[in-house]
Structure formats: C-alpha cells, structure tokens
Structure 1
C-alpha cells in the first residue's frame, strides 16, 4: 500500500489526481508541515469503520486469545425483604 503525503496547498491545486492516488493507498494531507487529514477511498473507510465492534454484545461475542480460559462464576441468590413504606 502506497502512502502519499502532500501539503494542503498541493491538495487544493490537484485534488483530482490525489483522489486517484487514494485508490492506491492513503493520502496524508499536511497543514504547515503537520499531518492533519487523510484521504481514503470510501471502501477503505468502510473497512476501517467495520473493523470496530458495533455494540457491546458484538464485542463480548468476539472470540479471542482468552477463549480457552475457564470462567464459571458462582450463582448469586438475593433474598427479598419486606419494605415498610408507612
């Protein structure tokens, strides 16, 4: 994957060429020498966005290196008590 770095001035001058360059890899745009933005294809953006868990349930359901750890917590019983509201 090719990474291209350009100044914001160059980006403004030649956005069409840089959009085509983004097909080959990210285009890093600098502002006064400091990296400030990244131009990606929408397909690459979706791939990055899709790599994160979308919900807590999905995060918990993901399989990982800790899958072989036995975890069997004891059941907890909670006794109910009467409440005097008067």
Structure 2
C-alpha cells in the first residue's frame, strides 16, 4: 500500500489518481491515515457492486449520430444482414 501525505496529494492529484489505478492510496493528515483513494473498479470489486443504470446513462453518447436525416426511417433486416 502506498501512503501519501495530504500536502503531497494536493500538490499532485493526477499522480495519486494514476497510482490508485494500481493499488489503493492512503492519504495522511499529520501522519494519521484519513482517506483512501482507489479506482472505481477496485471499489466495485470490494463492495460487490456492478454498473448501475445511472452509470450507463452517464456514459457519453455514440459519436456516429446521423443528424442530417439521410438514413432510412425504417429498419430493413435484409439490408442489414442480407
């Protein structure tokens, strides 16, 4: 486990976030552990959680959206898989 002082954490948050992808980071204040930084994947594994509907809805939308309306309005199975 890696231990980082609160001062060091505040000076380089990006470094702490990168390190937390590998293992939890303990953040200390005056030498005493006060917080733990870990990746969301590690947190979910630890708590047994999976992605929620909120997580899925918060995902960015696909970039291949057709805004000019040139696509057919009905779905043609033969054209798609034929």
Give the TM-score of the pair, scaled to structure 2.
Answer: 0.57
Regions of 4+ moved over 3 Å = none
Aligned to 2:33: 35
Residue 24 of structure 1 deviates from its aligned partner by: 1.1
Q: Which has the larger radius of gyration?
A: 1
Aligned to 1:14: 12
- Note the residue ranges of structure 2 that are not aligned, 5 or more in a row: 50-82
Aligned residues: 49
Residue 23 of structure 1 deviates from its aligned partner by: 1.1
- Note the residue ranges of structure 1 that are not aligned, 5 or more in a row: 52-86
Cα offsets for 1:35-55 (capped at 9, x unmatched): 01000000000011118xxxx
